[in-house]
Amino acid sequence: MASNPSFDITTGVDLQEVDNAVNQTRKELQHRYDFRGVEYTLELDRAASEVRLTSADEFHMTALTDGLQGKLVKRGVSLKNVRIGDVEHGAGQSVRCTVHLAQGIEQDTAKRIVKFIKDDKTLRKVQASILGDQVRVTGPKKDVLQEVMQRLREEDFGVELEFGNYRG
C-alpha cells in the first residue's frame, strides 16, 4: 500500500551567496570616499551562520549594513531570513553588530505553521508535524498539498518558506 503524499517546509539562506555578497560589499567600500582611512571589518562565520560587522562609528555601521543588505538582495538572498542584531558600543566610538542568517525553521515559527494548518478547516485530513528544523506535511491527495502550499505562501511567518522533498 502506498503512503500518503507529503512535502517538507524549510527555510535558509545560501551561504555561498552570502559570502559573495560580503566580498562584493568589501570591494565596494574600498572605493568609497567616506570609508577612506576608516577601520571596519565584515566577517562571515559559516559555522554560526552569521556575519560580524565592526566599524569606527554608528554612521559607518549604518552604511555597512545598508551596503550588505543591498548586495544580499542583488544575490537573491531573502531579507526575511536575515536578522540584524543590535548595535553594541565598544572602546571609544567603535561599534559592532551581528547579522544572523536563518538556517532552518525555529521552533516557535514551526509551531505557528502547524497551528495554521490545523486551524484551517478547509484543509481536511492534512497533518503537519515538526521534524527538527523543518515541518512535514502529509495529506490524502496531491491537490490538497498544493492548496496547503498556496495558503502558506499567502501567510507571513517572518521567514521565507521553501517547499521541498515532495513525495507523491
What's residue 91's pLDDT? 80
Q: Using CA atoms, how far apart are residues 18 and 9, in angstroms rounded to an integer?
A: 22
CATH architecture of 6-10+105-167: 2-Layer Sandwich (3.30)
CATH class for domain 15-101?
alpha beta
Is there a contact between 100 and 50 (Cβ–Cβ < 8 Å)? yes
Which one is predicted more confidently, 91 or 130?
130
As annotated, the residues of the chain forming the CATH 3.30.70.860 domain(s) are 6-10+105-167
Read off the pLDDT of each residue in 115-130 and give the average, rounded to a whole number.
86
What's residue 2's pLDDT? 53
Residue whose entry in the numeric block shows the C-alpha cell 553588530: 97
Beta-carbon contacts of residue 69 (< 8 Å; ≥ 6 apart): 79, 82
pTM of the model: 0.83
